[in-house]
Chains A and B, each alone.
Chain A
Amino acid sequence: MNDKAVPPCQAACPIHTDVRGYVSAIAKGDVEEAIRIIRQVNPFPSSCGRICTRLCEKACRRAQIDEPISIRELKRFASDQTLGLKLIEIPENSYEEKIAVIGSGPAGLTAAHDLALLGYRVTVFDSQHVLGGMLSQGIPDYRLPKDLVKKEVDNILALGVEAKTGLSLGQDFTLEELLKDYQAVFIAVGSQKSLLPKYNGVELNGVIAAVEFLKQVSRGHKPRLGKNIAVIGGGHTAIDAARTSVRLGASDVTIVYRRTVDEIPAGPEEVEHAEKEGIKIIYLAAPVEFSGNEKVQSVRFIKMQLGDLDKSGRRRPVPIENSEFEITADTVILAIGYMPDAEVLKESGLNISRSGTVLVKDYTGITNIHDVFAAGDVVSGPQSVIEAIASGRRVAEALHHYFRTMPDKEEKNFMALKELDDGIVKLINKSERQKMPALKVEERITNFDEVDLGYSKDQAVMEAQRCLNCGAGAVVADNCAACLNCVRICPYGIPFPGKEIAEIDISQCQACGICASECPASAIILQLEAKENNRAELEKAVDIAREETPEILIIGFYCRYGSPIGPPFDEDEVCWLGKFCTGRMDEHQFIYPFELEVDGVVIHMCKNDECRFRDGNQWSKSHIKSAKKILNEIGIGADRLDIISEEDFHNFRNKLHALGINPLRTGKKVKT
């Protein structure tokens, strides 16, 4: 059994973000809790919320039913909603060691951030005057606004990290010099040197590299491109370059990619955006020659077809003979690949691989030079931002262990929960993914305003509620009496009789909680919603409500899935508590409020056919019926507890007012 397995999203995330944790916080409207969870492992939530390659979504099991959760958009929502929130305390300087970080991209800054939090003194060097590396220079504003990156960078600097900008390794300082002042140097200079193909004409004017082009634009330049632009490549940079060209006024932009739409690394959403903006994409073609007189005028391509698998597991494009064609181009933007600036690194004495990357021992980033560490793209070659953040985190931890002479931490193994069984998939209701609101094409192609507008609160909550809460379901404790009630009542048929106790395959459990509410030994714990938390939540709500309420205090429970936006209706006398399905509420949850001297309890349930968990309504009704019987017997009265719709509420209230306050309060001071 996958006892220690984590949700697939968390396993897939290079920094193993507790995705389920923050998504479920958003599902109940707790954005602060969400951002706290994100921020624990990621100093760049705003950036990642926009441009992350979201391995999590590729792993999301919701895709087995319909579409994955929009995890990235939810991260963006959490971060956008909490920009002013102070989440991290400025750390105390606990250690003497000083660490130099070269390169202020996500790898370098993440390491700086983590080390500062650990109590080290960190100085970040960058050849540019703006910090953030590719985040602040390589990605156009319409995808990632610079002010957001700056905010995230500033947050890191606010931890006491010192920045020295405009200083390049090799030119302005050497490793040797740094090692005199710093006890360790972390090299995270990235992999920004563009690879240029060796075709005829590549030296012509007008043939430019995408990264340099994007950097120029991000510094405020507006290069003259002409009318016809050919972009070669299929990565994010290629699409960024093409869309940037459109915004600079190019009327005819064509992307040429050598594989098909299925392989394009930029992904379907970026492609869709590009096409909407009028960009043509030619698949299965590669350039053979650039021609022109000093300045490029046209490119000749050859058509490709997909052949055998290559080392990366993708089908290798193979040229088709006699299939050449030509397109006119005033500018050709090459977005084919990148490598680190190997020369500088070599001169610094570092061992370098054939592809120009720095050779390191392992994830700790130890290089051949004592006290010099390296990680990020400079070690791995071009990778995603989240990979860079992950490598920064690992090196920071390794450095800490190194300085504190602690043994290397063993890499924690994040094993993903297995897939949902087909039988279970069929039982789960479909629910459409929320569409990201975006600027209309005509509103966006003339400027660099951010295209995606972000979810509204309602959208975010609804999207978050699509989450299946993988692995947060029911766990059977040792005091299971093996009554097998859970086996009999689970709407998904997941629990089964084990040798001694009932067992629940956590990988399949849908966390409806019905078994937990019905377990006679109270031996089933629903991780998502522990019993103690329920009790504490209720007690707190009653305390708060008591302060402000008038004579009669009513606690109202509603299903969050049924009313995602909030309580089903507003009533001054009702203090609402949202539940993820009221079917998981046991009888005690309905009678306990009365012990807290609440005067009435109402339950607003979903309609019969709308239950997310199939049987929830039936269980709610059964538990309420049983609780009413108890209330009757003890003399509180069954009429104080009821299932209601908005229309019934008036009746209920009148009845309650006629009954008066909870008899347990009689004799005590009642506000009038």
Chain B
Amino acid sequence: MGFREALDSGKFLITAEIGPVKGTEIDGLLEDADLIKGKVDAINVTDLQSSVMRLGSMAVCHLLIDRGIDPVFQMTCRDRNRLALQSDLLSAWVLGIRNVLALTGDHPTLGDHPDAMPVFDLDSVSLLRVISRLNEGFDMTGNQLKGAPAFFPGAVVNPGADNEAALDMQIIKMEKKIEAGAKFFQTQGIYDLDLFEKFIKRAEGFKTQVLGGIILLKSAGMARFMNKNVAGVFVPEHFIKEMEETKDKVKTSIKIAAELIKGMKHLCQGVHIMAIGWEKRVPMVLEEAGL
């Protein structure tokens, strides 16, 4: 069962995420994917995550398909103008890619090529529209396609926006993304279920599918770093304390993630697990969460 079918089936969805390497050495990456395979409904492949130059998402997605995994092709607007974006979408389709996650993308200055031209010719909303148009058999300017794709487009949302205005705008933009064709949403990492519930309540009327984000905590230090530097992520003090005091970080991390997943079960339609190097531990998390 592919991701789209899983979603349509109404089951609690599970996606995970892998990040391509910088270079051509892909064995480890594929090993990780194989470990998760069968335990998740899809695996996201990031698109030059954090603006660091690496192996491309499309190629890795294709490799995953070869291994029987349904990938979610992450596509950012950072590096491609509207010509390249559309062309790459068509290329992805013919390589067997069905799910696309449309993102704005990080700014190049945050990565390892800070002087790269930030393209942002389109934004995530217009990219979703473009995907919808391609699905209808037309390109952006209305030219007919010879053979059209049928992508399953998704988008992201940040429920943890740290002020009222920011959250309001996330909701407004979420609505725009739905209007532009987004069928599912994967969220930023969630640690506060009360806040998440509030967000879900606001998005209830949108009748869309939300996969709550889970970032595996590796240490108290990582939690603090994220609190300070990652927008929309807030790890409460009691989790930090737990990570600090535990003798077995992995065990505690898995316990916390599982706890959060259990809490999300009745709030949203699935979870998206960002293991950030701990991909091998995703099965344990799922086991602990009873999935």
A and B in direct contact, judged by CB atoms within 8 A: no
